[in-house]
Amino acid sequence: MTAAAERTAVEQGAEDILAVARAQVLERGEGLTEQQVLAVLRLSDDRLTELLQLAHEVRMRWCGPEVEVEGIVSVKTGGCPEDCHFCSQSGRFPTPVRAAWLDIPGLVEAAKQTAATGATEFCIVAAVRGPDKRLLSQVKAGIEAIRAAGLDINIACSLGMLTQQQVDELVAMGVHRYNHNLETARSHFPQVVTTHSWEERWDTLRMVREAGMEVCCGGIIGMGESIEQRAEFAVQLAELGPHEVPMNFLIPQPGTPYEDYPVVAGSEALKTVAAFRLAMPRTMLRFAGGRELTLGDLGAEQGMLGGINAIIVGNYLTNLGRPAEQDLRMLDDLRMPIKALNETL
Amino acid sequence: MNEGFCGWCGKPGAEGDHATCRQRLSSIDPPRYCTSCARRMVVQITPSGWTARCSRHGTFRPGVSGPAAGAPPDPAKAGPAGDPTLSLA
């Protein structure tokens, strides 16, 4: 059967999706189509183990056993003018988060804490629509101070939407990767954010890629999207072709429009992880925020054995994570080596 | 109990059910409200820690009991008065 015929067979429900994925993704390295991803997401829970095993095989075949470890810190917290409905840092919602700036010594200390875990990535994040001159000069001074402190770690940034000039400035600062999440499927985005568009985010990602920075782009599962929209999101990310996809699970934040949304069920979260892996066999898939709440300790291990090959350790921006040592011990137990600096997954 | 307010929701610790607050504070959230005066605090999270600054009562850090700082005591597990999980910096 040809690849096109296989896809048609699955779309018509005539062939088992995991058998097709084994041939198409594992053997040939071709990501699943939207309809195929949807078929994976619709699998019953009694096939979860089989699905995770396949996703793990795909990850090992096309990415290898190494895991990229990253730490993140918020350099500018709260007071954001945007209305991302999931975010406790929006100034438009009555959340308990107050605005704060991290000074340069604090930024260097955060980088030291990250480097001490063996992480190769340190991401500087700001809650903004896009960076102004003050923020960019704070980031520049922070990067210089981190380098002056002798810390050997890659520096990434997440500073919202960029102009071409700002992209060029970040490249000149030595920022090697830029995070800007599309957050959700294009069709669902207007229900999540109304102050800017999915296309504006896409434009920033395009400029980042063209400037030679690595693109980091993912989103949050559990924001009221349908499973059809999860499949749509997976293939939209695959089309973008980011170097890294961070996978977050909604943490309902008090004061936000999503404060009463349910936490994603563990099996659903794991199924989504595996489906994203089958849509993007060669992409770095990172466990990010919300895994502690959604998956707990056991689920985190299952995710690492179900397609994930990167992880944020320690705390997040406004929430706390598991102690880094616990995740590093987990990786050791799973015999998954931490990626060394200057290696490419 | 010498903690007047819940560090997660900011409401009086003695009023209402704070089970969710305790669960969040013990797992994924730092305290956002001062337990003495219920003011919203300026919280800075770093990869391995956090600080929470109340304009009236100073800066707090994780105490010996870890991230449960600020949670009103669970009535079902009531022990000696006082929550030692916050320490003034």
Shortest Cα distance, chain A CAs vs residue B58, angstroms = 15
User: pLDDT for A282-299, tens place per residue?
Assistant: 999 999 999 999 999 889
Residue A184 — very low, low, confident or very high, per pLDDT cuts 50/70/90?
A: very high
CB contact under 8 A, A251 and B33: no
Domain locations in chain A as residue ranges: 62-333
Residue A123 assigned to a binding site: yes
Contacts for A305 with CB less than 8 Å, ≥ 6 apart? A52, A53, A56, A334
Per the listing, tokens 């109340």 go with B54
Any CB–CB contact under 8 A between B25 and chain A? no
Residues of A in contact with B70 (CB under 8 A): none
Q: Average of pLDDT values for A133-140?
A: 97
Residue A230 assigned to a binding site: no
Architecture of the A62-333 domain = Alpha-Beta Barrel (3.20)
DSSP string, A138-150: HHHHHHHHHHHTT
Domain locations in chain B as residue ranges: 1-74
User: pLDDT for A104-133, tens place per residue?
Assistant: 999 999 999 999 999 999 999 999 999 999
Residue A341 — very low, low, confident or very high, per pLDDT cuts 50/70/90?
A: confident
Q: Average of pLDDT values for B17-36?
A: 95
Any CB–CB contact under 8 A between B48 and chain A? yes
Contact between A222 and A264 (Cβ < 8 Å): yes
| Local structure of A125: helix, strand or coil | strand
Shortest Cα distance, chain A CAs vs residue B77, angstroms = 23
Q: Is the pLDDT of residue A8 over 90?
A: no
Q: Average of pLDDT values for A305-313?
A: 98
Contacts for A267 with CB less than 8 Å, ≥ 6 apart? A45, A48
Any CB–CB contact under 8 A between B45 and chain A? yes
Residue A286 assigned to a binding site: yes
Sign of the C-alpha dihedral computed for residues B51, A93, A259 and B16 taken in this order: positive
Residue type present at position B5: F
Residue B29 — very low, low, confident or very high, per pLDDT cuts 50/70/90?
A: very high
Contact between A300 and A276 (Cβ < 8 Å): no
Of B29, B41, B44, the CB nearest to A320: B29
CB contact under 8 A, B67 and A106: no
Sign of the C-alpha dihedral computed for residues A209, A232, A219 and A197 taken in this order: positive
